[in-house]
Each structure stands twice: as C-alpha cells, then as structure tokens.
Amino acid sequence: MKRVTTSVALISTLLATMLLAACSNNKETAGESSPANTATASSSQSAEPVSNDPLGKYPEPVTVTQVLGFRPPEEADALQGVTPETNGYIKDLKEMLNIELKYKWTVPSDQFDQKFNLAIASGDLPDMMMVDYNTFVKFKEQGILADLSEAYQNYASPTLRKIIESDGGFALKAMTSDNKLLGLASSGEGGVQVLWIRKDWLDNLGLQAPTSIEELEKVADAFVKNDPDKNGKNDTYGLALNKNFAAGWGFDAKGFFQSSGSYPFAWLKGADGKLIPGEIQPETKAALARLQSWYQSGILEKEFALKDEDKESEDLVAGKVGISFGEWWYPNWPLNLNKDKDPKADWIQLELPSLNGNPGKTLISRGIGAIMVVKKDFEHPEAAIKMANFFQELQKPKYVDKNSPDFKGPKTGYNYSWYQPRYYSGFKDIFLAVNEALDANKEKLELPEDFIGSGEAQTWFDAAKKYQANPKDNTAWGMYYSRVAKDGGIAVAEKIKEDKSKFVYNEYYGPPTPTQVEKGASLNKLTNETFTKIIMGSAQISEFDKYVEDWKKLGGDDITREVNEWYDKNAVK
C-alpha cells in the first residue's frame, strides 16, 4: 500500500512538472505579444522634449536599450579595463542629453548575427537597433518599426543631414515606405577593384607595369619562369587566387573577371533595360577559358582550390606570388607583413587592365550601411536621432586632437567603435585635408570646427607622420599607403570613381528574393563547382553552355524575373 502511494506521488510530481513546463510556455507567448519591457518603464511621460534642439537635454532621464556586437579596441594605447558599459560615450550621453543607454547584451561581433536572430525569434528586442537591409525589410513587413520622419525633420543636426543626404537622397528614399521614414542609414559604395603588383620584381626582370590582360599574362608568365625574386629557386607563381575566386573578400579573381567585362553574382543593366545575371554571360565564358589556360601554364597555383583567403595571404607574405587583384586596403594587411619579411618588397597598385582595347571596368555595388531602426512602442523616437547627432558632436576636432584638453579618445576611455549609431561620409574630404596639411609640412592637423570625419583624419595624419619619421615602420606604411599616399589605395579608388568609363554599377541591392532564399545556395554551389572544374581543366570550356542551361532551369530564370520585378518597383533610379 505504501509503495502504491509513493508511486502515485511520484507520477503526479512528474505530471506536475510537465504541466508547469506547459504553463511557463503560455506565459512566454503572452509576454511576446505585449513586449512591454522593464527597461523602458523608467522613461516617463513627463519627459517631453522642451525644444527642437538637436542636442537638447531631457529634463527627466530617458532610458534607451540597445544590443551590441563589438571588438576590442584597435588602438594600442586604449585605456585598459573599459567595457562597452563603462564607455566614456555613455557617460557623456547621460550628462549632455540625459539619455541612459543600457545594453541588453553584448557579444563579440562574429557571433552577433546568431545571438540577434535568437533575440528576434524569442521576441526580446531592444528599443533601438542597428540592422542590415534584409532584417530591415523583415521588420518593415512585420510592422514593428517606428516612423522617424518627424523626428528626423525636427531634430537632425546639419552635420548629420549632410552625411545622410550626401548621396543625393538615395539612402533616405530606400528607407522610406508609404511616406514613412522607417530607418536611418547612410549609403556607401563597395570597394573598387585594382591590381596589386610587386614593383621590385618588375624591376628585377626589366618589365613594364602591365596595362592590358595580354601584357599581364606576359608579366605573370615571367614571374613564374624567370625567378623574379632572384633567389635562384623556382618557387614563385603568377597570380594569387583562392577557392572563393568569384565572390571572396580578397586575393580572388573578381578583378580579373571585371577586366574581362564579366560580373559574376552581380546584376547589370542589359541592352533592353532589364537586369541580367553576370555569371551566365558569354564574357564569363571567355574569362574562364583564359583562366583555364593560365592554370595549365602554371600562372595559377595548382592547389588554389584548396586555399581560402586567409591561407592564400600566407603566399603573399612569404613572397611566393607577386600579383593579386583586390581592394585598397591590402597595404594595411597583408602587404605590411610581406615587407616585414622581405625589406626589398615594393608594391604598387594599378587600375584594372584592359582587354582588346576596352578598359577594365570595376564593379561598384551600392549598398545601404547599417540601418538604425526604432521599435514602434518606444516613446522617444527623437532620442535616437539625438544620439546620432551626439556622435557627430563628439567628432569635432577639439575632441579628437590628442593634444587638446577636451580630448575624448580610446586613451581616455572613449571607444567610438562601441557607440551606435555612427554615420560616416566618404573618404574624399579627409584625404584632401590630410594631404593639404602634409604638403604644407604642418606639424599639427588643423581642421575647421565643422569638419566631418576629423577623427579618421587625425588617425591618418598621425600614421603619415610616423611613416615619414621612420620609413622602416611597415605598420605605419600600411596605413599611409592604403589611405594617404597620392598613388595609394584610396587615391586610386577615388580617381576611378570620377571617371564614368571605368566603372559600372551593380543595380540590385535588394534583399534575397524568395527563389534566392530557396535555391540560391545550390545555384551558387553549381556555379562555383562548374567554374572551378573549368579552370582546373577537369571540365571542357564547352561545359559552360550546359551550365547556363542548368542554371536557368534550376531557378535562375525565376530569380531573374523576381530581381527585375524588384527593380521596376523599388529601385532608386
């Protein structure tokens, strides 16, 4: 008898546990539908703004919650022990605007997406978020975003407006739907492709810098066969390439394809005004055929298909390869390490080579930067705009000059990279201002009070000074040559952007279309596999025609249709 009672007791406990679990689930769904969170409770109704002052202080504290993905500060002299919560920006934000910024969580940038998706799924969102375009569209469709039009009109400071509207209203239009401004973002243009080449190797072999694909082929061939590093060993190859050669972030063949007039994974306007996918065009076939012949003649490394970007960078550092297509930032990494290893190494950058007399046109992808959105039920959407103004305020020259008594930088516990939202304008003004100061042999960078981007300018100027003082400092060289030098990374990129005959736009910047979500991954895999096989010679170039058929059949045609529908409806033209 006793045993029976214990059993019954035990079983009922088990049942109770299950029920309890079920109950807490119910509670959760209830919590989700009314996301009144405790953090915002302290922002009271009485805290009405007194004026439309962009930096007006609230009479009562207003609490704003955010989430943050962050990296440790890059600056070597950053104050130790500062965390995002104790960042100087947050302290000043409270003092100047009476806004209390609270982080629901912070996570290293790499894991941000994962954690943020989890937060979205569990309905646990902060008042104010920085999101990408895809998430923005998702939120827009769910209708959880606040309208910022009024707040932007009334509160945005002149500096902020100048940055946001520097693209002629492209970003503002992209963020507006039904006359409501649902997010705030600046638009940017992706990197320009250039050709990096080792000048000391060219000189060793008595060669000229190549301006066409044909010349490049000759130079690369000489780099393979004629021992360009003069070490008596046959240990070099022609062109750096990694397995993500059509869509990687460096040491790839994007620049090569573009020189050949081929734009895989991009959408260009065709002759009939419709957008066409770059990977299935005849130019791509021709480019692949040439890569195949380069693979056979040893210009490409036999094992390129096994290396990712990180691995391929080792060959550049080790001095095994002296030509690479890529972007403006190479000197910053890994070319500086190559110079550490081999002091004779000397890299120059060239514009994309021409083919059959047609200049190489680089692809520029227009993109919306990080988008600031505010949740609909947040009572102070204007606080978000004020916070954006606040960041620009703290970028004024007197705050970013290390010798100024008002200096607010990493050294004094102000880490800008943890603060959101921050907007930047292009590099051009900074480039000009820094070079002007250097040309005039100034010891100190003097900028007008309303200069936009003075923090960045100060960093560039300091690096340039450091490089001038010690030309052997390869880290300083990396900063100097990628950003400041007149024949360096940004200078060449800006020059290309000024000449309309040297670039084309990627016309599609929308979210993945339904078919892309469903079939995009397998189509990309098909593309990569086919291209790799063709380059390595295990498939004939004629395979390309079959690939085009397959690509269209397996969803490519649907994607093309959807992309064009989006383009007709949403694109800012």
Partner 1 sequence: MFYKQSLSRKLFNVTNVIVLTLITLLGILPFIHLLSVSLSSNVAASAGEVSLWPVGFTLDAYHFLSKKAEFIRSFVISLERVVLGTAINMLLVFLTAYPLSKTNEQFRFRTVYVWFFALTMFFGGGLIPSYIVVKETGLMNSIWALVLPGALNVWNAVMMLNFFRGIPREMEEAATIDGASHLSVLWRIYLPISLPSIATIGLFTVVGHWNSWFDGILYMNSPEKYPLQTYLSTLVTAINVKSITIENMSALQNLSERTLRTAQIFLGALPIMVVYPFLQKYFVKGITVGSVKE
Check residue 92 for interaction with partner 1 (CB under 8 A).
no
Q: Are 363 and 507 in contact (CB under 8 A)?
A: no
**Per-residue interface string for the shown chain with partner 1, residues 213-252, x marking contact by CB under 8 A:** ----------------------------------x-xx--
Positive or negative, the CA dihedral 150, 154, 157, 163 is positive
Residues 177-196 that bind partner 1 (CB under 8 A): 188, 190-191
Using CB under 8 A as the binding rule, whether residue 353 contacts partner 1 is answered as no
Q: Is 262 exposed, middle or buried (0-12, 13-18, 19+ CB in 10 A)?
A: buried
Which listed residue (92, 226, 298, 329) binds partner 1 by CB under 8 A?
A: 329
- The Cα–Cα gap between 87 and 80 comes to 11
Q: How far apart are CA 97 and CA 92, in angstroms?
A: 8
Among 77, 203, 308, 436, binds partner 1 (CB under 8 A): 308
- Number of shown-chain residues binding partner 1 (CB under 8 A): 60
Q: How far apart are CA 345 and CA 316, in angstroms?
A: 11
* 449 touching partner 1, by CB under 8 A: no
What token pair was written down for 264? 């895989």
- Stretch of 329-337, 465-473, 540-548, 559-567 contacting partner 1, by CB under 8 A: 329-337
Please tell me whether residue 91 binds partner 1 under the rule CB under 8 A.
no
Say if residue 126 is preceded by a cis peptide, omega within 30 of 0: no
Compare residues 54 and 331 and give the one whose CB is closer to partner 1: 331
C-alpha distance from residue 69 to each of 296, 316, 436, 441 (Å):
45, 31, 36, 40
What part of residues 410-429 is at the interface with partner 1 (CB under 8 A)? Answer: 417, 424
Contact pick of 98, 106, 211, 532 for partner 1 (by CB under 8 A): 106
Going by the DSSP 8-state scheme, the letter that residue 277 receives in this structure is E
Give the residue with the Cβ less far from partner 1, 21 or 469. 21
Residue in 71, 344, 486, 561 binding partner 1, rule: CB under 8 A: 71
Q: What 3 state SS string does 88-132 have? A: HHHHHHHHHHCEEEEEEEEEEHHHHHHHHHHHHHCCCCCCEEEEC
- Hey, which residues between 465 and 524 contact partner 1 (CB under 8 A)? none
Report the distance separating Cα 156 and Cα 56, nearest Å: 11
When asked if residue 109 is in the footprint of partner 1 (CB under 8 A), the reply is yes
Decide: is 122 part of the binding site for partner 1 (CB under 8 A): yes
Q: Which residues bind partner 1 (CB under 8 A)?
A: 3-4, 7, 10-11, 14, 21, 24-25, 27-28, 31, 71-72, 74, 83-85, 103-111, 114-115, 118, 121-122, 124, 188, 190-191, 247, 249-250, 308, 310-311, 313-315, 317-319, 327, 329, 332-334, 337, 340-341, 365, 417, 424, 456
